Amino acid sequence: MKRLIENIRNKLSEKGLKVTPQRISILEAIYSLNNHPTADNIIEFIRVSHPNIATGTVYKVLDTLVENKLIKKVKTDRDILRYDGIVDNHHHIYCSECDLIEDYKDEELDVLLKEYFNKKQFEGFKLEDIVVQIRGTFDKC
C-alpha cells in the first residue's frame, strides 16, 4: 500500500512529471480496478477519498499518462474509452456478451508472432507492436 504509492511517485518523477495527489490517485485507481476501467470507473473510485477532483482533470491526467506510456488505451468497438495499467505487451480476450476484457499472456504465442513478423517484410512501415484480440463468450456470461 505505502509501497504502491511510493512506486507510483517514482514512476511519475522518472518521466519528469509533477507528482500531484490527483495523478497519484488516478494511477492508484487504475492499478486497483483490474479490468480496463473507463474514465467514469476511475472517477467513481477516486471520489471516495478525493471528492473534489474535477472530471476534466481526470481526462487530462489520463491523456498525460498515456503520452508518457505509464498507461495504455485499450481498443474497443464502443464509444467509451478504456485504459490499461499494464504497459508490457499482452493480449486481450473480449467477451461478446458483456463488456469484460480479460488479459491474455502466453510466451509461446509471443514467440510465434515474433518469428512470423520478423520474417515478413513491411515495406515503408515501422512495426511497433502486435496485440491479439481474442473474441468469444464466457460460459459465466
Partner DNA sequence: TCCTTAATGAGAGTCATTCTCCTTTAGTGA
Partner DNA sequence: TCACTAAAGGAGAATGACTCTCATTAAGGA
Q: Does 127 bind its own copies (CB under 8 A)?
A: yes
63 makes contact with DNA (CB under 7 A): yes
Choosing from 5, 19, 80, 98, the residue that interacts with its own copies (CB under 8 A) is 80
Residue 73 binds its own copies, judged by CB under 8 A: yes
What is the four-CA torsion angle of 109, 110, 111, 117, rounded to 10 degrees?
110
Among 16, 56, 77, 88, binds its own copies (CB under 8 A): 77
Give the shortest CB-17-to-DNA separation in angstroms: 5
82-105 core/surface letters (b: 16 or more CB in 10 A; e: else): bbbbeeeebbbebeeeeeebeeee
CA-closest candidate to residue 30, choices 4, 53, 56, 54: 4
Q: How many residues bind Zn ion (CB under 5 A)?
A: 6
Residue 1: CB atoms within 10 Å: 6
99 interacts with Zn ion by CB under 5 A: no
Which residue in the set 11, 33, 57, 90 belongs to the binding site for DNA (CB under 7 A)?
Answer: 57
